[in-house]
Amino acid sequence: MEGKPSIHDQYQNPLVCRYGSKEMSFNFSDTKKFTSWRRLWSYLARAEMELGLPVTEEQVKELEANIENIDYERAAREERETRHDVMAHIQTFAAVCPKAAPIIHLGATSCYVGDNTDLITLRDGFDILLVKLAKCIHRFAQFSREHKSLPTLGFTHLQPAQLTTVGKRASLWLQELVMDERAIKRARNDLRFRGIKGTTGTQASFLALFEGDHEKVKKLDARVTELAGFSKAYPVCGQTYSRKVDVECLNVLASFGATAHKICTDLRLLASRKEMEEPFEASQVGSSAMPYKRNPMRSERCCALARFLMSLPANALNTAATQWMERTLDDSANRRMSLGESFLAADGCLRLLQNISEGLVVYPKVIQRYIAQELPFMASENIIMAMVKAGGSRQECHEQIRVLSQAAGNRVKLEGAENDLVERIKASTYFAPIHSQIDDLLDPATFIGRAPQQVEEFLKSEVDPVLQEHEGKLEGTVTLVI
């Protein structure tokens, strides 16, 4: 194409330009990656100096002073020549650190900076997600508590079932979010540092540097691990940390994706019944052809991202399964995409979920109308029990209600009319002994069991402890630009 190149002439990853947050995008950026490499080189130099290798404080300080002084154009030129990204950045770092140049990367292999940086990025990515997940839990907890006593039709097989409450249904969503918070936190805390292990994980190069002193090699590994902010390093590895670690990380994100998909699918179904709606802005357009439409765009988008997120663990599984011996390089290109895109997709889902949860609208009158259509059938057992208490026969009462129910059901299905079972019962002389009780027997509040109490008990025992861990970090709203 002629003219000045434009970003509009190139593919732009929508996870970056449309869906993910700035902080998560930065977490997987070149700036984060290459400053982490330089920081790791400075950690290694400092630890080697502390343990007696010929590294000076002046050299270490020179490295530390130039961590963010990256000449990306030079690095790109170096990589084109060497076909090796780590060597390119060693040369670029050395150019601005002439005194420290001889000791940069001393004893290390490329995976010292590559894999350790990946572990730092995974850890920091989990930290970003955990706060956002806690915000979603907080918003849905407020919603669940607010609507804990509002009766609504329950559904099994997507068919009307016994009543539940709007808040109790939301507690089911919350329970899965709490499970995700626990799983993501566990995956985050299970992460260890690769540390300094050498080319095939034997630490041979460092043992040579320390002239066979095993204790100093162990101390070097521990000190660099500490400087990087990790409490432990993996005790054994090949050239890379085990790619099974990536499997564990992507699995918990995909599991959260299933939760997000479930929640937003429920919301889409409820929106189709006009019982609930996600936020809909005054100027928002639902359809280019049908101006009356209020499509659940946010929930649909969240489902789309969640579906993509759920597909990504297959990459990690296949990569882990094909790491021959101490490592092969066919993991590199795949991981450049699958790791970052998993976190960005999860981040996008959480931004949508928070935005949705902060503006959910409930329509009690619509819910009440649906209950009125189904409750007479569900109340038949209560009516039978009342008649038995009034001296009637259960079997005879059952037959009377069966006949009336069939007639009312046919009226609904064949004529499209309202359910008139209650009116039929009130008109029947057989049910005269309980006519005065009928309205009380049909009070929806008497059909929700312990739903309100379950909500409160669940919030207190399971949700509040999670929110306490994130106290002071739950403020702020999400505004979706697109």
Active site residues: 157, 287
Using DSSP's 3-state secondary structure scheme, residue 162 falls into: strand
**Pick from 432, 427, 433, 434: nearest CA to 379:** 434
For the chain, first and last CA: distance in Å? 29
Compute CA distances 38 → 191, 221, 334, 412, 431, whole Å: 21, 17, 24, 72, 84
Which tokens hold the place of 26? 């930065």
**Pick from 190, 306, 303, 174: nearest CA to 253:** 306
Rounded Cα gap, residues 213 and 209, in angstroms: 9
Q: What is the DSSP letter of 283?
A: T
Is residue 412 classed exposed, middle or buried when 0-12, 13-18 and 19+ CB atoms within 10 A define those classes? Answer: middle
- 8 A C-beta contact, residue 359 and residue 282: no
- 8 A C-beta contact, residue 260 and residue 179: no
Which tokens hold the place of 476? 């702020």
DSSP H or E stretch at residue 276: strand 276-277
Instruction: Write down the residue that tokens 């981040």 correspond to.
Output: 347
> Residue type for 303, please?
C
> How many alpha carbons fall within 13 Å on the CB side of residue 215?
1
Q: Where are the alpha helices (DSSP H) in 147-161?
A: none
- What's CA 52's distance to the chain center, in Å? 46
> Residue type for 210, please?
F
Q: Is the dihedral of CA 129, 134, 135, 136 positive or negative?
A: positive
Return the bridge partners of 277, or none: 361
How many residues are recorded in the chain? 482
What phi and psi values does residue 393 have, to the nearest 5 degrees? -95, 130
How many C-beta atoms lie closer than 10 Å to residue 40's C-beta?
23
Rounded Cα gap, residues 387 and 369, in angstroms: 27
**Pick from 254, 246, 257: nearest CA to 339:** 246
Return the bridge partners of 193, or none: 233
Which tokens hold the place of 337? 């995409």
